[in-house]
Amino acid sequence: MSMDDMTLGRRIAQRRRMLGLSQETLGEKMGVSRQAISKWESGAANPEMEKLVAMSKLFDVSVGWMLGVEDEQKKEIATEEEAELIGQLLRTIRTPEVADPVPIAEQERDMEADPVPGPKRIDRRWVLGAGVAVVCLVLCCVCLYALWASHRSLARGVEDLERRLAAAEGSLDDMDGQNTALLGQVRELSVGMAQLLEEMAQLDEGVGQENDYAVYESLTKWSLIGEASEDLTKVTLRFSGVTAVEVSGVRFIAQHGGALRDYVTCTMDGRSCYGQLELPVADDHQYLLMIDHTDGTTERIVLEGHGLSDLRAAASPQVRTVRSQDSIFDNHSDQRFWMGWEGVFLSIPELAPKDAEYLWEDLMVSYHHNGKCIQSVPLEDQQALEGIDLTQTSLFFQIPTSTYVMESFEEGDLLELRLEGVLRVNGQPVGFSVGLICWEVDDEDLVEVMEE
């Protein structure tokens, strides 16, 4: 292909390859993308005048050679007229529908004869000044907003401080009231302490009210008091006593099933001693004192007469029954037995917390055959609890006459009637099941073998 047949795009591609430049590298030098270089070389688009001049300098050729209007030679600096001519040629290339472009000189003469108003050039100083003014305005707005936000934050802080001050003043008033109440309690405690010291002095002298507990040589007085937890699973035992002589120390010990459960070294105040243990609810408890005398000997005392060996029973609801008619059993016809009750006394456990709130729920009578529940009768369904306040610590209600038919009975079978339900202690639910009566089948009759 001759040089005359080469297009602008082919000339750009030829010079680029001669210099060993990629399209991306040439685009970086011209300040355009690689796609723009590709479009120039393919003829899809033409470079602008300034880009064309820059490429002619890079390729070391004249602009006219790149446009194909002169032979290849070292480029020279184009005059103003040549630059206008090149621009005209580029416009002609971009708009091929214009066949005969008007020469630049004629255009200048036409413009002198009939000037056409063109767009006015804007002074850069005005543009710069306007930009500076806009920036200043934005900064002023930002500063004003920051001041407003700071003032608002300070106002909220002041309001918060005022609220805290008011709350502190109220707390001080409450504290004054509490201090007054505490002073009253201190006075009451002082009076109570004086009475307690007087009673202790009477105990030391052997003067005081006698109790039902067993009396020992080394103990002038002693007591054992228990109180169950709200869930009725633990019991706190408090021991107090007065020794007959001065001793070195006293240990309060709890055994269960013959094995050590827990112990505590008592606090001594002269000849008075105090100790406390927390034990799980269970039966078969035994309590001992180990008294260390001043002569180095140790005395072992088994405490008796306290009634707290069976903590399980002491922490369970108490039931007493009043029967109006004996149970009847017929083993010859339809295996039927029935019973009638005058009433049931139900009360909270012996060791239940004294100042707690109580509520009885889901009370029912259940029949058991050889330890298996065969029928449950809710008392509410039989209107046995109608009109009864279930928040009382003690209840009395009647159990209607009940009849139950078994498929068969055999000699030695156990038939048991139990009272079951839920006791809420300060909202804590505790289930219970208490035996009312138990029979054993003996030939043709029922023999009562247990009553709780």
Residue 98 banded pLDDT, cuts 50, 70, 90: very low
Classified by CATH at the fold level, domain 3-113 comes out as 434 Repressor (Amino-terminal Domain) (1.10.260)
Residue 203 banded pLDDT, cuts 50, 70, 90: very low
The token pair at 372 is: 């298996």
pLDDT tens digits, 359-377: 999 988 887 888 888 888 8
Cα separation, 101 vs 109, in Å, equals 15
Cα separation, 265 vs 274, in Å, equals 9
Please give the CATH number for the structural domain made up of 219-309: 2.60.40.10
Q: What is the pLDDT of residue 257?
A: 82
Q: Which residue has the tokens 């255009």?
A: 107
Q: What is the pLDDT of residue 386?
A: 82
The token pair at 318 is: 């108490």
Residue among 243, 216, 237, 235 nearest 302 (CA): 216
pLDDT for residue 326 is more than 70:
no
Q: What is the pLDDT of residue 443?
A: 59
Say if 219-309 and 316-450 have the same CATH topology. Answer: yes
Percentage of residues in the chain with pLDDT exceeding 70?
A: 69
Spans of all domains in the chain: 3-113, 119-209, 219-309, 316-450
Q: Report the pLDDT averaged over residues 387-391.
A: 89
At a CB cut-off of 8 Å and minimum separation 6, what does 89 contact? 67, 69
Give the single-character DSSP code of 216: B
Indicate the Cα dihedral angle 209, 215, 218, 221, nearest 10°.
-20
Decide yes or no: CATH 2.60.40 for domain 316-450.
Answer: yes
Residue 236 banded pLDDT, cuts 50, 70, 90: very high
Cα separation, 16 vs 21, in Å, equals 5
Cα separation, 86 vs 76, in Å, equals 14
Q: What is the pLDDT of residue 108?
A: 43
pLDDT tens digits, 415-433: 787 889 999 999 889 888 8
Q: Report the pLDDT averaged over residues 98-113.
A: 42
Q: 280 vs 134, 283, 315, CA distance in Å?
A: 83, 10, 10
This prediction's pTM: 0.45
- C-alpha 85, offset from chain centre: 83
At a CB cut-off of 8 Å and minimum separation 6, what does 239 contact? 222, 223, 224, 252, 266, 273, 274, 275, 276, 277, 287, 289
Strand 402-405 and strand 336-340: pairing?
A: antiparallel
**Identity of residue 354:** K
Cα separation, 207 vs 226, in Å, equals 25
Residue 171 banded pLDDT, cuts 50, 70, 90: confident
The token pair at 316 is: 């369970």
Query: In terms of C-beta density within 10 A (0-12 exposed, 13-18 middle, 19 or more buried), how is residue 311 classed?
Result: buried
What residues are paired with 394 via a beta bridge?
Answer: 347
Q: 190 vs 97, 175, 177, CA distance in Å?
A: 120, 22, 20
Angle between helices 49-59 and 8-18 (to 10 degrees): 40
Q: Which range, of 26-30, 123-127, 210-214, 371-375, averages the lowest pLDDT?
A: 210-214
